[in-house]
Each structure stands twice: as structure tokens, then as C-alpha cells.
Chain A
Amino acid sequence: MSPLTFRPAQQAERPGRGVGRRALLTGAGAAAALGVTGCGTGFRDSPAGSGGGQSGGPLRVLIGSSGDAETRAVRAALADWSKRSGIEARLSVAADLPQQLSQGMAAGSPPDVFYIAPEEFAAYAGNGSLEPYGARMYDDFYPSLLESFRYEGKLVCVPKDSSTLALFINDELWRRAGLTAKDYPGTWDELHAVARRLSSGRRAGLTFDPQWQRVGAFMAQAGGHLVDRRGRADVDTPENEKALAFVKEMLASKALAYPGALDAGWGGEAFGNESAAMAVEGNWTVGALANDFPDLKYTVVPLPKGPEGPGTLQFTNGWGVAADSANTTAAVDLVRYLVSANAQMTFAKKLGFMPSIELLDERWRKEFPKQSAFLDGVPYAQGVPPVKGIKEVLAEFGAELEGLAGKKPKDILRSVHSALKAVTG
């Protein structure tokens, strides 16, 4: 009984202590680079605010977790920060992140800190739900990653990690097909050739999901993209058509099969249960394979070069801070801690996340030599354009790509182009 009565008192105490400690921490150098701006806003919504006594209270953190490991790692990081700052941070794991986040925003009581996906970023930035704290951060992030979190010229959020696409190769099947490390495909033709060689019966040589998030890598290799430099739709181009034609060709020769056709939910699963010998997937697959198929031996190599050189896609999640948070200063401080080199390296070791800051490049390579192919792609990777409505456009693209085998690439690109043009203006 005593812990029950004790706990609220403890919580009520914390905010007071928190302010002092945070100031100390900022000065101490954990976030030295921004010491100047660290105390920009203060507690804007102090007692009179709509938060109803929440101001300065514990921070609420909402994440969409990939599993127990991620939940535990984030919880540990929060506890660590709480110890330093004296501010409690409570973690909730969302079953459906976009829905729970939207509910919080609409109700005017959003979580203070949360994961935000680039596809959804622009929608939230557009309605002013996000605190644009980017200017108060270090400047060591990979520039290409930051592009996904810029809205109307302003850096709103920072990325918490990064991932790129690479080629996963099943060692055993590779060897059995009489292939060696010299045969790792460097060009489209080589990819097609080995994929054909590796496919047999119900097994496909290569698999990836029918969506821009995979096929877009081939578009990049052909010199294509979704939007041009000025952010305008630029989908219906000969480059993109070349890429789609190549994917279609691989589908036709049965070298490539979509995961659905292999009875798998996604590319990683098809690769893991060996119904495909190669897969175009991102680094999250490493963790998933270790979990579900611990005995699988595989190699990760960079994606082959296309007619216009190397190309890959990159993905990330950002740390969003709610504009309606009662304690944005503490929230931003928490984010600063979570993207710090130490915290990111801990996440990397526990979860295999690839860091979002260049500072860790070498340390990460040393830690994960087998995965350096992912990091190799970062300099030239393309990200999700931060456009409001991009999510529907990508969904439309995916729907079209599912039927690629029976469609003209040009028709698909034309329809996606008009859809994207409607949202980019």
C-alpha cells in the first residue's frame, strides 16, 4: 500500500528538481553545441495553460516498437535521461502509432515526444502539430536524412536513425548455384543473370516488395527520382521508365517474384524462409532475420549499379516533439540526449540501428563490419520527399506496381506523376 500512496508525491516533486538539473546538464556539455539556444522557450504553458497542471510534469513518450528488444532499449535510454535530468519520462508503446498520435493531437493532449515517419511528417508539420526544434540541434546529421524533415525551409525534426537498402544474399544457395564472391552482381545485367540462375521451381532468385520503397532504388540507379530539385513531381521520365521496364523484365523471366507470390508477408520473410535467394531490403531485416531465422547465413552487399551509377533509398524515423506539449524544453532536451552519439551507439549495439549522425560512421563500421554495405549507400541515397499527401501517392504507386507484370511502365508512371503533381503543385 505504501508505494501506491508514495508515488504521486514523488511525481509532483520532480518537475521542480528537473529544471535545475537540466540547466546543469546543458552547461555540462552533453549538448554543448547548443548551450546557447538550450533554454529558448522555457515552460510556455505554465500553470494557466490548457494542460491542466501537466506543465513541467513527466514527459510522455509514444513509440511504435518493432518488438520487446526495441521497447526495452528505449525504456533504458529514457531511464538514463531521467536520472540525469530528474524529469520522469513515461514510455507508451502504440499498437497503431498514427492513430494514437492523431487522437492525442486532436484531443489537444499529444504525447510530448514520439516517433514520426517521413511519409506522415509533412501532414503533421502542415497542421502545426510539430514543434520546429531543428535549429536547436547539433549539425552533424547526414544532410540527406535531414531533407526528409524539412518543411517550408525549416528543419522541424531530426532523424533518430537511418537505414538504406542493400542486397541480401543467401550464402548456401549462392554456393550451391556454383557462385562465388566474385559473382556478386555489380550491374543490372549481372543481377538479372544471377537471379535467373538462383531461381528454381518455386524458389525465386530475387524478391522485394512491390512498392516505391524498393523499386525506387532501381529508379535511382537509372538516374530517376520522384521529385526534382525544386520539389516538383518528376515521375514520368525515361529514367524511371527504364527502371520499371527492368523490374518488369525480371518478373517476366521469373528471376524476380514479389513476396506475396512466394507466400510471404514481406521480402525479409521470403528471404528468411529461403523461398527467395536474394532480397532487396534494409537494415531492419538484419534484426528480423536474427529473431526469426537465427541459423540463416547470408551476406549483404551494396545494390548493383544501374545505367546511371549507384543508387539506393534511405529511410528513417524522426523524433517528433508536440507543439502542444506542456514542456517542450524538456522534450527537446530528451531528443538531444536520444540522438547523442552515446545513445545512438547503444541503440546500434542493442538493435542494429544505423546512426543518423556522421560522427559515428567509423565506430559503426568497426562494430558491424558485415553491414557496412548499408552505410556505403548513405552518401547517394534518396529519401522520402517531405510532401503533404506523399503517403497516398506512394500507396498508389505500390498498388500500381503490384500489377506491373501486366501493365505498361509508362502508364504507371503517368498516373503516379499526375497524382504526385496534384500534391506538389
Chain B
Amino acid sequence: MSGIRLPRRRRSIHSGQAAAGWLFMAPAIVLLGLFLVIPIAMALWVSVSDWGGRGNPFTGAAHFVGGRNYAELLTGDGLARRDFATSLRNNAYYVLLVVPLQTVVALGLAVLVNRKVLRGRGLARTAFYFPSVTSSVAITVVFLFLFTASGAVNRLLGYLSIEGPNWINDPRGVVHLALSAVGVDSPPAALRSPVLGLDVWDWLSGPSVAMCVFIVLAVFTTSGTFMLLFLAALQNISAEVEESAQVDGATAWQRLRHITVPMLRPTLFTVITLGLIGTWQVFDQIYTGSQGAPGKTTLTPAYLSYEASFTSQEWGRGAAIAFLLFAIIVVMTLLQRMVLRERDTGGRRPRRLRPSATAPKGGEQA
């Protein structure tokens, strides 16, 4: 047996590399296994068990209960489902506003600081990046101060003779506020029917005024990071492409719209994906800032999962929330990938710009 195989092995110059490869990967595999795979497996088990938070869940302390924890969240009629629905609504509005805003702001900042004519570019880059490297707890606390009823923001609004709301204590949804401004204060009967334990009317509330503070906070802190990603990508676009467009008589806006942005698509994908994941997982701002208050309008699934586990000792429910959140993130990312890919083959863009859009790929291969 070995007599046949040995010569083959000797022939292949890759034969020894497999062992070396495994060896080099061993630390990473051990670390990932220990701190990622095992905990995830553990959480998965907890999510289908009745583990009460005492002792090791892999021992007799926990019993298999099937999908009970999930059922409680999705079909039960207790607070669990209602809270979960509320947290999903809050987070959905948060994602809906933060992701596009932070992407656009980051792109804008990147294009701005990428211009060679800009004076003090280094300073501007540092300034825009600064919020990203500051601890989120510290920034959250600063924001809480800025947005108190008599805080800096409301003083500023005061100068413009606008009476600002009591930001972080205001549980009213902005859509509800807008509707009540035009005289719609209570829902028509059709919107009274509950979905996942929450009235349609409540689903449509929009982010609360308090949540808006966290939305601004998120855009403020993450735009810098994504600006950096865009900046790196922008510097990969060769100057000739830009120049040739200029020669063709494209305006600055046209160049941005039809050259820069399409060429940034891989980066755009990365930024939106990271944004989606980060925003669906928002936790530390909520934990330090509001703990779900006012009126549960800043409750998010990640925080709810923590609350269910650590303060209510409903560890199974907490883990189930975490996995539902995971499912949401995966689905969202897949959807987003589909959307971005579809556009690629859609052919709605002017033909003449296509070659330039694929130019860097050719360059990479060479």
C-alpha cells in the first residue's frame, strides 16, 4: 500500500505543504473553535432548551424543549412576542435610516477628502475618522448630554426660535407625529389589527424621537470608518479614467454618478453589508444610553436578548432571539447581494461606460 503511494507523494511538491498548512492554521482553528464554534453550538442548544442559567447547560441542568422558545417569540400571546415585535420595529427603522445615511455621508466625505486641491486634507481625514475610534460609551454619554431638554442641541434650535423636543425622553414615533400634525391622531379601525402582537398602527409609528438621537449617533460614529473604506477604493481608481471622462466632457456630477460610484460597487457592497450587520446588532449605545426607554421605543433585539437572559433568566428565549436576529441578518445580506448583482446585469447604464467600469479588473489579472 505504502509502496504505491510513496512515489506519488514524492512526485508532488505540494505533499508536505498540507501538513504545514494545518499546522499554521492550528492556532486559528483552536481559537475559533474555542471562542466561536463551541459558544455558537452552545447557544443553539440553549435556544432549544429550558436552561435556567444555573450550571453548565450541557449537563443535566437543561432539557430539550424543541421550538418552544421560538414559538413563544413568534406565535405566543405573552409579552415575549410583543417585546420582540417592538424591538424588531425599532431596529428596522434604525436600519432603514442609518444604513443609507451613513453610506451616503461616508461616500460624500471620502470624495471630499480625496480631492487633491483640498487644503489640510490630513486634518480633515483625521477629524472625520475621529468619532469612529472614540469609545462608543463615551460618545453615547456625550450625545445624551447634547440632547437633554435644555441641552446644546435645543439651545441651538432655540436661537432659531424652534422649540426642540425632549429628545431622549420622547417616545412618540415621527410618523405618528407627522400624522398628528395633519390631524390624524388615532388609527383607522383597519390599522388596529395586530401583527405579531403589535397593532399595524404601532408598526407604522416610525422611529421615536429618542431613536432618532441614536440614529444620528450611529451615522456620526460609523461614517468615518466607511469613509476610510471608500477612500481606499477611490485611490485605486486611476486618474486616467477620470481624465478621459473629463475629456469626453462629463460634468463633476456625471463623473461621480457614472464613473466613481459604479467603480466603487465592491466597496459599496462591503459598506452596506457591514452597515446592515452593525445596525441590526446595535447594543452598546442602547445599553449605556437608554436601556430601551422611553416607552420601549429604543428596545432592540440584541438588547432584548441580553435582558431576557441576564435579568429575566430566560436564557432559552434570549438565545432564540439571537438566532432569529442572525437569520434576519443573513436574509438581509442575501437580499442586498441580489439587488446589487441584478443591477450589474441590468444594462440600464449607458453602454459606453461599461468598459471603464471593468477596467480595474483587467488590471488586477495582469
B52 touching A128, Cβ below 8 Å: yes
Closest to B72 in A: A422
**Segment at the interface with A among B53-61, B128-136, B353-361:** B53-61
A222 at the interface (CB under 8 A from B): no
B55 touching A391, Cβ below 8 Å: no
B55 touching A422, Cβ below 8 Å: no
A423 at the interface (CB under 8 A from B): yes
User: Of B55, B307, B310, which contacts A324 at CB under 8 A?
Assistant: B55
Task: Report how far A398 CA is from B55 CA in the complex, Å.
Answer: 33
A399 at the interface (CB under 8 A from B): yes
Residues of chain B contacted by A423 (CB below 8 angstroms): 78-79
Residues of chain A contacted by B307 (CB below 8 angstroms): 392
B312 at the interface (CB under 8 A from A): yes
User: Can you show 30 pairs from A to B with CB atoms below 8 A apart?
Assistant: A99-B310, A102-B309, A102-B313, A105-B54, A105-B55, A120-B311, A123-B313, A123-B314, A129-B53, A260-B149, A263-B148, A263-B166, A324-B54, A324-B55, A392-B79, A392-B80, A392-B83, A392-B307, A392-B312, A395-B296, A396-B82, A398-B293, A399-B294, A400-B295, A402-B294, A402-B295, A403-B171, A419-B79, A422-B77, A422-B78
Residues of chain A contacted by B150 (CB below 8 angstroms): 263
A106 touching B171, Cβ below 8 Å: no
A127 touching B296, Cβ below 8 Å: no
A389 touching B79, Cβ below 8 Å: yes
User: Of B54, B296, B311, which contacts A129 at CB under 8 A?
Assistant: B54
A337 at the interface (CB under 8 A from B): no
User: Of A260, A324, A389, A399, which contacts B312 at CB under 8 A?
Assistant: A389
A393 touching B79, Cβ below 8 Å: yes
B311 touching A128, Cβ below 8 Å: no
Seen from chain A, the residues whose Cβ lies within 8 Å of a Cβ on chain B are 98-99, 102, 105-106, 108, 120, 123-124, 126-129, 258, 260-261, 263, 323-324, 389, 391-393, 395-396, 398-400, 402-403, 418-419, 422-423
Seen from chain B, the residues whose Cβ lies within 8 Å of a Cβ on chain A are 52-56, 76-80, 82-83, 148-150, 166, 169, 171-172, 292-296, 307, 309-315
A108 touching B56, Cβ below 8 Å: yes
Residues of chain A contacted by B56 (CB below 8 angstroms): 108
Task: Report how far A79 CA is from B307 CA in the complex, Å.
Answer: 34
B127 → chain A closest CB, angstroms: 31
Task: Report how far A400 CA is from B52 CA in the complex, Å.
Answer: 29
Residues of chain A contacted by B54 (CB below 8 angstroms): 105-106, 108, 127-129, 323-324
Task: Report how far A324 CA is from B55 CA in the complex, Å.
Answer: 9
Q: Is the interface of B mostly helix, strand, loop or mixed?
A: loop
A260 touching B294, Cβ below 8 Å: yes
A419 touching B78, Cβ below 8 Å: yes
Closest to B77 in A: A422
Task: Report how far A391 CA is from B52 CA in the complex, Å.
Answer: 16
Residues of chain B contacted by A399 (CB below 8 angstroms): 171, 293-296
B171 touching A98, Cβ below 8 Å: no
**Additional A-B contact list (17), CB under 8 Å, known A418-B77, A422-B78:** A102-B309, A102-B311, A105-B54, A106-B53, A106-B315, A108-B55, A120-B313, A123-B313, A123-B314, A258-B169, A324-B54, A324-B55, A389-B312, A392-B80, A399-B294, A402-B294, A403-B172
A105 → chain B closest CB, angstroms: 5
B149 touching A263, Cβ below 8 Å: yes
Q: Is the interface of A mostly helix, strand, loop or mixed?
A: helix
Task: Report how far A68 CA is from B310 CA in the complex, Å.
Answer: 26
Residues A396 and B53 in contact in the complex (CB < 8 Å), given A98-B310, A126-B313: no
Task: Report how far A15 CA is from B149 CA in the complex, Å.
Answer: 56
- 6 smallest beta-carbon distances between A and B, as pairs: A127-B52, A260-B169, A422-B78, A123-B313, A263-B149, A399-B295
B312 touching A123, Cβ below 8 Å: yes
Residues of chain B contacted by A106 (CB below 8 angstroms): 53-55, 315
Residues A102 and B169 in contact in the complex (CB < 8 Å), given A389-B79, A422-B79: no
Closest to B171 in A: A402
Residues of chain B contacted by A127 (CB below 8 angstroms): 52-54, 313
B38 → chain A closest CB, angstroms: 15
Task: Report how far A120 CA is from B83 CA in the complex, Å.
Answer: 18
B296 touching A391, Cβ below 8 Å: no
Task: Report how far A419 CA is from B172 CA in the complex, Å.
Answer: 22
Residues of chain A contacted by B83 (CB below 8 angstroms): 392, 396
Closest to A99 in B: B310
Residues of chain B contacted by A402 (CB below 8 angstroms): 171, 293-295
Residue of A106, A260, A261, A418 most packed against chain B (CB within 10 A): A106
A398 → chain B closest CB, angstroms: 8
Residues of chain A contacted by B80 (CB below 8 angstroms): 392
A2 → chain B closest CB, angstroms: 39
B273 → chain A closest CB, angstroms: 30
B67 → chain A closest CB, angstroms: 18
Closest to A119 in B: B311
Residues A403 and B311 in contact in the complex (CB < 8 Å), given A389-B79, A422-B78: no
B311 touching A98, Cβ below 8 Å: yes
Residues of chain B contacted by A99 (CB below 8 angstroms): 310-311
A152 → chain B closest CB, angstroms: 15
Task: Report how far A389 CA is from B78 CA in the complex, Å.
Answer: 10
Residues A124 and B313 in contact in the complex (CB < 8 Å), given A324-B54, A393-B79, A396-B79: yes
A403 touching B295, Cβ below 8 Å: yes
Residue of B56, B80, B310 most packed against chain A (CB within 10 A): B310
Residues of chain A contacted by B311 (CB below 8 angstroms): 98-99, 102, 120, 123, 391
Residue of A124, A127, A403, A418 most packed against chain B (CB within 10 A): A127
Residues of chain A contacted by B79 (CB below 8 angstroms): 389, 392-393, 396, 419, 422-423
Residues of chain B contacted by A129 (CB below 8 angstroms): 52-54
Closest to A125 in B: B313
A277 → chain B closest CB, angstroms: 19
B18 → chain A closest CB, angstroms: 39
A64 → chain B closest CB, angstroms: 12
Task: Report how far A314 CA is from B49 CA in the complex, Å.
Answer: 36
Closest to A117 in B: B311
A384 → chain B closest CB, angstroms: 14
A408 → chain B closest CB, angstroms: 10
B163 → chain A closest CB, angstroms: 12
A76 → chain B closest CB, angstroms: 30
Residues of chain B contacted by A403 (CB below 8 angstroms): 171-172, 295
A70 → chain B closest CB, angstroms: 21
Residues A261 and B171 in contact in the complex (CB < 8 Å), given A102-B310, A126-B52, A419-B79: no
Residue of A99, A323, A399, A423 most packed against chain B (CB within 10 A): A399
Task: Report how far A127 CA is from B83 CA in the complex, Å.
Answer: 23
Residues of chain A contacted by B166 (CB below 8 angstroms): 260-261, 263
Task: Report how far A261 CA is from B148 CA in the complex, Å.
Answer: 10
Residues of chain A contacted by B82 (CB below 8 angstroms): 396, 419
Task: Report how far A403 CA is from B170 CA in the complex, Å.
Answer: 9
Closest to A129 in B: B54
Task: Report how far A260 CA is from B76 CA in the complex, Å.
Answer: 33
B296 touching A396, Cβ below 8 Å: yes
Residues of chain A contacted by B295 (CB below 8 angstroms): 399-400, 402-403
Closest to A263 in B: B149
Residues of chain A contacted by B55 (CB below 8 angstroms): 105-106, 108, 324
